[in-house]
Structure 1
Amino acid sequence: MMMVMMMMMGVKGQVYFRGDCPMTPIIKDFDWERYLGRWFEQERYFVGFQEVGRCFSYTYIKDDKTGKISNRGDYWDIFLSRTTELTGDVTAKRPYSAPNFLTLTFPSVPVIEDDYQVLATDYDSWTLEYACVPKPIGHTRNVWILTRSPHPPYHVIGEAKTTLISLGIDVKFLEKQDTSCFKHY
Structure 2
Amino acid sequence: MSPSCFVLLLLLPLISAQTVRWGRCPSPPVQPDFKLQEYMGKWYEIEKIPAYFSYGKCIEANYLLRNDGTVLVRNSQVVNGTRMEVEGTAKLMDPREPAKLGVSFSRFIPYRPYWVLTTDYTNFTVVYSCTEMFGVGHIHFAWILSRSPSLPDETVQRCKEMLMREGIHVAAMKPTKQDCAPEEDHDGSGEKEN
Q: TM class by shorter-chain length? A: 0.7 to 0.9
**What is the TM-score when the length of structure 2 is the normalising length?**
0.78
Question: What are the within-5 Å matches in structure 2 for residues 19-38 of structure 1?
Answer: 19-38=23-42
- Whichever residue aligns with residue 77 of structure 2, its letter is Y
- Aligned residue for 2:127, secondary structure, equals strand
Matching residue of 1:156? 155
- Aligned residue for 1:159, secondary structure, equals helix
Shift of 1:168: 2.5
Q: Structure 1: which 5+ runs fail to align?
A: 1-9
Question: Residues 105 and 39 (structure 1 numbering): CA distance in 2 closer, same or farther, change over 3 Å?
Answer: same
Q: Deviations over 1:15-55 (max 9, x none)?
A: 1112111122143411112211111111111111223x221
Structure with the higher fraction of residues in strand conformation: 1
Please tell me whether residue 56 in structure 1 is matched to residue 54 in structure 2: no
Question: Residues 127 and 15 (structure 1 numbering): CA distance in 2 closer, same or farther, change over 3 Å?
Answer: same
- Whichever residue aligns with residue 175 of structure 2, its letter is K
Provide the rounded CA distance (Å) in 1 between the counterparts of 2:17 and 2:117: 16
Asked if the contact 2:127/2:143 (under 8 Å) is kept, the reply is yes
Please tell me whether residue 42 in structure 1 is matched to residue 41 in structure 2: no
Provide the rounded CA distance (Å) in 2 between the counterparts of 1:182 and 1:122: 28
Shift of 1:132: 0.9
Asked if the contact 2:61/2:76 (under 8 Å) is kept, the reply is yes
Asked if the contact 2:31/2:119 (under 8 Å) is kept, the reply is no
**What is the TM-score when the length of structure 1 is the normalising length?**
0.81
Name the Cα RMSD after superposition: 2.1
Q: Deviations over 1:36-75 (max 9, x none)?
A: 1111111111111223x22110011113x44431111121
Percentage of matched positions with identical amino acids = 29
- Aligned residue for 1:145, secondary structure, equals strand
Q: Structure 2: which 5+ runs fail to align?
A: 1-13, 186-194
Number of residue pairs matched by the alignment: 169
Structure whose alpha-carbon radius of gyration is higher: 2
Provide the rounded CA distance (Å) in 1 between the counterparts of 2:31 and 2:146: 19
Asked if the contact 1:90/1:102 (under 8 Å) is kept, the reply is yes
Question: Residues 103 and 35 (structure 1 numbering): CA distance in 2 closer, same or farther, change over 3 Å?
Answer: same
Shift of 1:13: 7.3
Asked if the contact 2:126/2:144 (under 8 Å) is kept, the reply is yes
Matching residue of 2:103? 104
Shift of 1:93: 0.5
Question: Residues 36 and 90 (structure 1 numbering): CA distance in 2 closer, same or farther, change over 3 Å?
Answer: same
